[in-house]
């Protein structure tokens, strides 16, 4: 089942879209907090986004660029502002298609089906984890924060991935080392300390101070 996020602030249109998409077997969700569309995007982790241009707080172009900083998920703009300038802007910001309001639901469905087929027929689906405004991409092992992409070594990103997967819980040093051994990377206690120190330094340089906390005698915790 594909997940589709709908960023449309007109409740009538948003509700109609969600109900229509559900009839096709897709799991659709409407954005509720238009001040944090990216947060809802990462929490839902959709395979496609329907995005209006005129939205409260920030417009659709802004949110498309934010999404594009962390994901290649297909984005279809839906807007009554269908002049050439807006269409060009939508494409330049990373949009995959543009549908002018009012639109025929059968046309929208056909475009969604085509995009999903092209995007996922031969490709896997990405997994994103969001915390404190930072978005971790499990596929390429990068973290995006404030529009900047942070790259890590193989061990650093595996350590960060384990901690993020268990955020809110303490992860023991032994558990981290076992996870790294499972991926054919031998790490002893001293090497783990060095990797965590380097990982912390990269996060702090990006402005993420206190992202990884040490619990003495227990392990590490995402803060």
pLDDT in tens, 97-124: 888 888 888 888 888 888 888 777 654 5
* Beta-bridge partners for 137: 128, 142
Strand 3-7 relative to strand 27-30: parallel, antiparallel, unpaired? Answer: parallel
**3-120: CATH, from 3.40.50.2300, 3.90.1300.10, 3.40.50.620, 3.40.50.1000:** 3.40.50.2300
Model pLDDT, residue 165: 85
- Has residue 3 got a pLDDT over 90? yes
Model pLDDT, residue 137: 85
Greater pLDDT, 65 or 82: 65
Assign residue 147 a region: left if phi > 0, alpha if psi is -120 to 50, beta otherwise?
left
Domain ranges of the chain: 3-120, 128-222
- Has residue 4 got a pLDDT over 90? yes
**128-222: CATH, from 1.10.10.10, 3.30.300.180, 3.40.50.11540, 1.20.1300.10:** 1.10.10.10
Kindly state the percentage of the chain with pLDDT values over 90: 32
Rounded CA-CA distance 192/84 in Å is 54
The pTM (predicted TM-score) of the whole model is: 0.61
Kindly state the percentage of the chain with pLDDT values over 70: 94
- Has residue 202 got a pLDDT over 70? yes
Q: How far apart are the first and last CA of the chain?
A: 33
For 123-148, the pLDDT digits (tens) are 455 578 888 889 888 877 889 998 88
For 139-186, the pLDDT digits (tens) are 778 899 988 889 888 888 888 988 988 888 898 888 888 777 766 565
């Amino acid at each position: 089942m594909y997940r589709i996020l709908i960023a449309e602030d007109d409740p009538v249109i948003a509700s109609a879209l969600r109900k229509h998409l559900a009839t096709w077997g897709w799991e659709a969700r409407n954005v509720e907090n238009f001040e944090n569309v990216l947060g809802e995007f990462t929490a839902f982790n959709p395979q496609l986004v329907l995005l209006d241009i005129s939205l409260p707080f920030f417009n659709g172009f802004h949110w498309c660029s934010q999404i594009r900083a962390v994901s290649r998920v297909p984005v279809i703009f839906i807007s009554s502002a269908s002049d050439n300038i807006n269409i060009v802007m939508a494409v330049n910001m990373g949009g995959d298609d543009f549908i002018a309001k009012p639109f025929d639901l059968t046309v929208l469905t056909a475009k969604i089906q085509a995009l999903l087929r092209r995007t996922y027929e031969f490709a896997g689906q990405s997994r994103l984890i969001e915390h404190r405004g930072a978005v971790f991409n499990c596929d390429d092992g990068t973290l995006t924060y404030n529009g900047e992409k942070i790259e890590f070594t193989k061990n650093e990103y595996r350590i960060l991935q384990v901690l993020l997967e268990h955020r809110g819980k303490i992860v023991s040093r032994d558990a981290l080392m076992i996870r790294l051994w499972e991926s054919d990377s031998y790490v002893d206690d001293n090497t783990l300390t060095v990797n965590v120190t380097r990982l912390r330094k990269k996060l702090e340089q990006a402005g993420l101070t206190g992202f990884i906390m040490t619990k003495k005698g227990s392990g590490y915790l995402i803060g």
